[in-house]
Structure 1
């Protein structure tokens, strides 16, 4: 029996680490309860967690912000598009296109491994939480290689 192929990129352990770290960053900084999602390169959710007290809609928004980064290969908050274009892209992607800060690519050596998204605080705080988590993850990986 042949081995099942696997997408390149993040493992479940990586995604768990990133989500736990982003939630901890949000708590450390006194942000409202966050939802944090980590997706693989295909846009499928690996891990999604919402802090106690978080609004239910934040889970879907966190996933959409991460998918937005995968579609555009840039942070979700750096998209400057007219409303009609955003509406069209949202329609094409079933609403999973949110051009507000909070979604970032997870890369290593210029290769996309996946994406992370957060929602629940101010958009720039959402992005700060996932960016800090990814930075800490890179530091952790450099020490454990």
Structure 2
């Protein structure tokens, strides 16, 4: 396994951000923030569009960070949070970078073995629209995820 197989490159992060924001514009969604994190939850690239509220940066990072921390895309994390709200609130207060259990955070898995190498989080519109931007951005990449 090469280093390239276990990393999300800056070029890949830029492509994901660009495709997500282009799709957002095509669909007429609200301005968004897209955050691409590495496996350790550190930002590779975060972009906040003009007109997107400043808290959206933390929300996008929190969606991606929650996905990384639990090994689940954030839609599944939201479903768990509904069942265990007190636990999720406690975890969210402990996690560096926050945890936002709402659709819009997707794990980056480059191969069929399911190994996670990072995550993307989007915030700015409804959670469903945020997630749609990530799913669209990952199509045709080594991170394509049909099981969001």
* Fold equivalence (TM over 0.5): yes
Q: CA RMSD in A?
A: 2.1
Assess if the C-alpha contact under 8 Å between 1:17 and 1:137 holds in 2: no
Task: Name 2:106's counterpart in structure 1.
Answer: 104
Ranges in structure 1 where 5+ consecutive residues have no aligned partner: 141-145
117, 120, 137: which is aligned to 1:113? Answer: 117
Structure 1 residue 136 displacement after superposition: 3.6
Task: Name 1:78's counterpart in structure 2.
Answer: 76
1:73-105 deviation per Cα after TM superposition (whole angstroms, max 9, x unaligned): 111111213211111101111461111001000
Aligned-partner SS, 1:46: strand
Aligned-partner SS, 1:108: coil
Q: Structure 1's 95 and 75: CA in aligned 2 closer, same or farther, altered over 3 A?
A: same
Q: Structure 1's 16 and 95: CA in aligned 2 closer, same or farther, altered over 3 A?
A: closer
Q: Structure 1's 32 and 97: CA in aligned 2 closer, same or farther, altered over 3 A?
A: same
Aligned length: 136
TM-score with structure 2 setting the length: 0.85
Assess if the C-alpha contact under 8 Å between 2:13 and 2:45 holds in 1: yes
Ranges in structure 2 where 5+ consecutive residues have no aligned partner: none
Aligned mates of 1:28, 1:136 — CA distance in 2: 18
Query: Which of structures 1 and 2 has the bigger CA Rg?
Result: 1
Deviating above 6 A after TM superposition, structure 1's stretches of 4 or more consecutive aligned residues are none
1:111-131 deviation per Cα after TM superposition (whole angstroms, max 9, x unaligned): 212100000000010011011
Aligned-partner SS, 2:47: strand
Instruction: Write the mapping of 1:1-145 to structure 2, written as runs, cut at 5 A.
Output: 8-79=6-77, 80-81=80-81, 82-94=84-96, 96-109=98-111, 110-138=114-142
Aligned mates of 1:122, 1:6 — CA distance in 2: 33
